[in-house]
Amino acid sequence: MHNFLLTTSLGLESLTKHEVNKQGGTITEVQDKAIYFNGEIEMMARMNIWSRFGNILYYVLDTESQLTDFDTYFDIVFAQDWKKYIPRGFAVMIKATSIKSDLGATSTLQALAKKAIAKKIVGEKYLDEDDRLGKIEIRILMENNTLRILLNTSGIGLHKRGYREMTGDAPLKENIAAGLVILSGWKFREPLYDIFCGSGTIAIEAAMIARNMAPGMKRHFAFEKWSWIQENLLEQEIKLAKTKEFEGEYKIYSTDIRHDIIELAKRNAKFAGVDKNINFGTQDYVTYLRRELQGWLVSNPPYGLRLEDANVPKIHEDISELLKKNSNLKGGIITAHTDFETYSNTKYKKRKLYNGGEMCYFYKKEQN
């Protein structure tokens, strides 16, 4: 069995834990923004392509080393089989984090790790590194005097699916958007509305969820260049994932006031392979105020921290009224506008989330 760490965003831990279990991982520890699990080596490819809510999937080399001095730390790092794990000539990037540990100097942890790795591979103080060949990121995590050594298998964050050629103003991260869809409780055969769609992320993620499409099939991962990983491992998992996709007709409506943004959203949806599953339109949100709606609202309206020129209070007051008057409209919005709850007597279930480091809340309308 192999040990892994899947990081996630604060507020998405329960969803991330569920998807690890669903893909066959055995959970060993859950922390804020971190799910530790073990499984067969296939989980490296499987979780990278299937994780909707994760940030980075790490391979854990050393899981439970207790230490309080730098000499022991150096010896443990040196003991790892770095000739196996680091492709020849690759640039080595080391990032260290220390939490409630005696070894708190992260710069020293990084420097000693680099020195130990160089000594193990070439017997010298310095490695021959060429970042044109590739890079490998090693994470040193010291927590409560316990050392974990991690390899970044993903490369760039898993929220970057590969379908967004560009984004609109103040974009919503893909894993947060996927989380909103699941947290809303959307039933796939019911309508779903995003009335401030921007680059289309919520609608695209919703369509991919409904069709059971693995979100990471259109991108590359760091582990693909590792010689100790079976060459066709990723190819096999992608082929298997494609057999699990559904075809269907969905009532997903994605609108925005700007025509150029809608055209961008359409292109993103086409890259994702779900353009035929989404109804896009250039439309001001106020047109929805005059309609009777049923289904789910999942949207990311402008708020003051993102877009200072928007009429934030009026927009949020209108959304509150929309949810109040449509008894058959479920779901809610993500926003940092904390006055949202005060605009009506509608009751909401709040979930704290972070989008790009910005604290927000997902306000989900409670049903009577």
Show the domains of the chain with their CATH numbers: 2-152 (3.30.2130.30), 174-211+246-365 (3.40.50.150)
| 3-class DSSP assignment, residue 286 | helix
CA pair distance 266, 274, nearest whole angstrom? 9
How does pLDDT run across 161-173, given as a tens digit for each residue?
999 876 656 589 9
Res 217: pLDDT: 95
Q: What sign has the CA pseudo-torsion 185, 186, 187, 191?
A: positive
Res 167: pLDDT: 62
CA pair distance 286, 274, nearest whole angstrom? 27
Which bin fits 361, alpha (ψ -120 to 50), beta or left (φ > 0)?
Answer: beta
pLDDT at 38 over 70: yes
pLDDT band at 92, cuts 50/70/90?
Answer: very high
| 3-class DSSP assignment, residue 253 | strand
Instruction: Work out the average pLDDT over 187-206.
Output: 97
The reported pTM is 0.95
C-alpha torsion 111→113→116→117, nearest 10: -110
Res 62: pLDDT: 74
CA pair distance 315, 338, nearest whole angstrom? 13
Q: What sign has the CA pseudo-torsion 257, 261, 265, 267?
A: positive
CA pair distance 353, 176, nearest whole angstrom? 8
- Residue 354 sits at φ, ψ, to 5 deg, of -125, 125
pLDDT at 130 over 90: no
pLDDT at 304 over 70: no
Instruction: Work out the average pLDDT over 73-100.
Output: 95
Query: Could you give the angle at the alpha carbon of 111 between the alpha carbons of 106 and 113, nearest 5°?
Result: 95
Res 169: pLDDT: 60
Instruction: Work out the average pLDDT over 333-354.
Output: 93
Res 213: pLDDT: 98
Number of Cβ within 10 Å of residue 338's Cβ equals: 12
Res 305: pLDDT: 52
CA pair distance 37, 87, nearest whole angstrom? 25
As a whole number, the mean pLDDT across the chain is 94
Exposed, middle or buried by CB within 10 Å (0-12, 13-18, 19+), for 266?
Answer: middle
pLDDT band at 32, cuts 50/70/90?
Answer: very high
Number of Cβ within 10 Å of residue 70's Cβ equals: 14
How does pLDDT run across 241-266, given as a tens digit for each residue?
999 999 999 999 999 999 999 999 99
Query: Residue 255: enclosing H or E segment and its boundaries?
Result: strand 252-256
